[in-house]
Amino acid sequence: MALAGVCVVELAGLAPAPFCGMILADFGARVIRVDRTKVAMTVDTQARGKRSVALNLKNPKGVAVLKRLCVQSDVVLEPYRKASWQGIFYC
């Protein structure tokens, strides 16, 4: 596979990031999808080939886990506006 050995962290959101993550997973990348806790479960057709973890990013422990994942990854995909999560990495 072309992207074997590449680790991608995808912050789940609207179409662009999940679609990109799906394509990267199809090419062999290890994609870890970070979902919010307490979200209604829906059928996600773009989740194939991904691992998933649910984190509460309003909790410092959840933010610490996300930071650790991002440091260990090669790529971070995030579909959010700057104001919605900028404080996570610039504390």
In the chain the domains, ranked by start, together with CATH numbers, are: 7-89 (3.40.50.10540)
Using a 10 angstrom Cβ sphere, with 0-12 exposed, 13-18 middle and 19 or more buried, the burial of residue 42 is exposed
| pLDDT score of 91 more than 90 | no
**CA separation for the pair 91, 87 (Å, rounded):** 6
Give the global pTM: 0.78
Q: What pLDDT, in 10s, does the model give residues 34-80?
A: 988 766 556 567 788 899 898 988 899 999 999 999 999 999 988 77
